[in-house]
Amino acid sequence: MPGLTSKMSPVPDHGEESYQGAGRLQGRKAVITGGDSGIGRAVALAYAREGADVLISYLDEEEDAKETQRLVVEAGRKAVLISGDIQHPAHCREIIDRAVSELGGVDILVNNAAHQASFKDIADISDEEWELTFKVNIHSMFYLIKAAVPHMKPGGAIINTASINSDSPNPILLAYALSFKAFSFLELLPTSRLSTVCRQPRYYGNSRSRGV
C-alpha cells in the first residue's frame, strides 16, 4: 500500500531545514530500503549531509523518490534510484549489485522498508496478505543482508528499523507485529555489524507504505 508524502497532513519533517552534517560518513556508500519518504528520506538526507553516497530503494513512488534524490544531490552526494518489490529475492540481490556497480561498494545497509495493514479480525487477514507481510518485513532483510555482507569491509554497518509493535503489539496489526517479533531473531545472524533501531508509536508520514 504505497503512500505519498504529498498526501500527508501535516507534511513530515525530514530534517530539510534542521539537519546539519559534520562529515562523519565521508566517502561511505549506503543502501536504504524505503528511502523515498518518511524515515527513509530522513536517513538518506542525513547520510548525504554527512558525506555518504546513497542508493535509494523504493516500491513505485517515483515522485517521492525523485525528491529524495534531489535532496541528496543538493547535499553534494550521488543518489542512485532503484524501484521494485523487495518481497522478491532477485530484486534484493539486484539492489546490492546496483550499489556495488554504481556506488563502488556497500558500507551501510539500512533495512527500513516495511509492509503494514490493519485488520479488526483475524478472519479478515487473507493468506496472501499474511505471506506478503512476512516476505517484505522479514524475508527481504535476510536476502539483503546475505547479499551485502560479502561486499562490506571492517567498519561497515547493518541497521534494521524495527517497530514498538514487536514488544507492545497493537491487536489490529497482528501480521505486522508478529513479523517484527520474528525480526528480532535476525540478530542471531553471524555478523557483528548488525544493530536495530526501533520505531516509536508516533506520526511518521506515510507509515502504511513500503517506505516507512
- Which residue of the set 47, 143, 176, 203 is catalytic? 176
> Residue written as cell 532477485?
90
Amino acid identity of 114?
A
Q: Respond yes or no: is residue 176 known to be catalytic.
A: yes
Give the C-alpha distances (Å, rounded to integers) separating 157 from 56, 94, 106, 117, 128.
17, 19, 9, 29, 33
- Kind of pairing between the strands at 108-111 and 29-33: parallel
Grid cell at residue 28: 561511505
| Closest listed residue to residue 182, CA positions, set 160, 166, 201 | 166
**How far is it, in rounded angstroms, from Cα 39 to Cα 34?**
8
Q: Using CB atoms within 10 A of its CB, is residue 5 exposed (0-12), middle (13-18) or buried (19+)?
A: buried
Residue 132 is placed in which grid cell? 506478503
Torsion angle defined by CA atoms of residues 55, 22, 27 and 100, in that order, rounded to the nearest 10 degrees: -20
For the annotated catalytic residues, the residue numbers are: 176
